[in-house]
Amino acid sequence: MLILDEPTSGVDPVARDAFWRILIDLARRDNVTIFISTHFMNEAERCDRISLMHAGQVLVSDTPAAIIEKRGARNLEEAFISHLEEAVAKNPPAPPAAGAPRQPQEQAAPAAANLAPRRQGFSWRRLFSYTRRESLELRRDPIRLTLASLGSVMLMLVLGYGISMDVEDLAFAVLDQDQTTLSRDYALNLAGSRYFIEHSPIRNHAELDQRMRAGEISLSIEIPPGFARDIARGTPVQIGAWIDGAMPMRAETVRGYVQGMHQHWLTAKAREAYGSEATAGLFSIETRFRYNPEVTSLPAMVPAVIPLLLMLIPAILSALSVVREKELGSIVNLYVTPVTRLEFLLGKQIPYIALAMINFLLLTALAVSLFGVPLKGSFLALAAAALLYVIAATAFGLLMSAFVRSQVAALFGTALLTILPAVQFSGLIDPVSTLEGVGALIGQIYPTTHFVTIARGTFSKGLGFMDLRASFVPLLIAVPVLIGLGAALLRKQER
Partner 1 sequence: MRSAHNILHLGIKELRSLVRDPIMLVLIVYAFTFSIYTAATAMPETLHKAPIAIVDEDRSALSNHIIDDFYPPYFLPPALITTAEMDARMDAGLDTFALHIPSGFQRDLLAGHSPVLQLNVDATRMSQGFTGSSYIQAIVSGEVNDFMRGYRAETAPAVDLVLRARFNPELDKSWFGGIMEIISAITMLSIVLTGAALIREREHGTVEHLLVMPVTPFEIMSSKVLAMALVVLAASWFSLTFIVRGLLAVPIEGSVALFFAGATLHLFATTSMGIFLATLARTMPQFGLLLLMFLLPLQVLSGGMTPRESMPDAVQFIMQAAPNTHFVMLSQAILYRGAGLDVVWPQFLSLAAIGAVLFTLALARFRKTLATMA
Q: 330 Cβ partners below 8 Å, 6+ apart?
A: none
Using rule CB under 8 A, residue 328 touches partner 1: yes
CB of 281 to partner 1, least distance (A): 6
Q: Which of residues 216-235 bind partner 1 (CB under 8 A)?
A: 218, 231, 234-235
Using rule CB under 8 A, residue 299 touches partner 1: yes
Within 97-195, residue ranges assigned H as helices are 124-139, 142-162, 181-191
Torsion sign across C-alpha atoms 269, 274, 275, 280: negative
Q: Of 122, 124, 161, 379, which one interacts with partner 1 (CB under 8 A)?
A: 161
CB of 267 to partner 1, least distance (A): 7
Residue placing its CB nearer to partner 1 in the complex, 113 or 214: 214
CB of 381 to partner 1, least distance (A): 13
Number of chain residues interacting with partner 1 (CB under 8 A): 132
Residue placing its CB nearer to partner 1 in the complex, 91 or 406: 406
Residue placing its CB nearer to partner 1 in the complex, 108 or 417: 417
Of 58-66, 124-132, 161-169, 198-206, which part binds partner 1 (CB under 8 A)?
161-169
CB of 158 to partner 1, least distance (A): 5
CB of 416 to partner 1, least distance (A): 5
Q: Of 24, 26, 241, 368, which one interacts with partner 1 (CB under 8 A)?
A: 241
Q: 190 Cβ partners below 8 Å, 6+ apart?
A: 172, 196, 198, 221, 258, 261
CB 385 within 8 A of CB 472: yes
Residue placing its CB nearer to partner 1 in the complex, 228 or 339: 228
Q: Of 88, 251, 357, 384, which one interacts with partner 1 (CB under 8 A)?
A: 251
Residue placing its CB nearer to partner 1 in the complex, 48 or 222: 222
Q: Which of 302, 287, 286 is nearest to 460 (CA)?
A: 302
Q: Which of residues 341-370 bind partner 1 (CB under 8 A)?
A: none
Of 104-112, 127-135, 460-468, 474-482, which part binds partner 1 (CB under 8 A)?
460-468
Using rule CB under 8 A, residue 253 touches partner 1: yes
Distance between CA atoms of residues 221 and 242, nearest Å: 6
3-state secondary structure of 220: strand
Task: Let me know if 158 is exposed, middle or buried by CB neighbors in 10 A (0-12, 13-18, 19+).
Answer: exposed
Distance between CA atoms of residues 401 and 393, nearest Å: 12
Distance between CA atoms of residues 276 and 151, nearest Å: 58
Task: Let me know if 468 is exposed, middle or buried by CB neighbors in 10 A (0-12, 13-18, 19+).
Answer: buried
CB 104 within 8 A of CB 68: no
Using rule CB under 8 A, residue 338 touches partner 1: no
Distance between CA atoms of residues 268 and 265, nearest Å: 5
Of 42-50, 95-103, 128-136, 168-176, which part binds partner 1 (CB under 8 A)?
168-176
CB of 399 to partner 1, least distance (A): 13
CB of 190 to partner 1, least distance (A): 11
Using rule CB under 8 A, residue 332 touches partner 1: no
- Beta bridge mates, 196: 170
CB of 252 to partner 1, least distance (A): 4
β-pairing, 2-5 with 57-62?
unpaired
Binding mask 46-75 for partner 1 (x = CB under 8 A): ------------------------------
3-state secondary structure of 401: helix
Task: Let me know if 49 is exposed, middle or buried by CB neighbors in 10 A (0-12, 13-18, 19+).
Answer: middle
3-state secondary structure of 219: strand
Residue placing its CB nearer to partner 1 in the complex, 51 or 449: 449
Using rule CB under 8 A, residue 26 touches partner 1: no
CB of 361 to partner 1, least distance (A): 19
The DSSP code sequence of 411-464 is HHHHHHHHHHHHHHSSSSSS-GGG--HHHHHHHHH-HHHHHHHHHHHHHTS---
Residue placing its CB nearer to partner 1 in the complex, 260 or 372: 260
Q: Of 110, 406, 473, 491, which one interacts with partner 1 (CB under 8 A)?
A: 406
Using rule CB under 8 A, residue 165 touches partner 1: yes
Of 15-23, 68-76, 159-167, 380-388, which part binds partner 1 (CB under 8 A)?
159-167
Using rule CB under 8 A, residue 160 touches partner 1: no
Q: Which of 269, 295, 293, 267 is nearest to 280 (CA)?
A: 267
Q: Which of residues 116-145 bind partner 1 (CB under 8 A)?
A: 141, 143-144
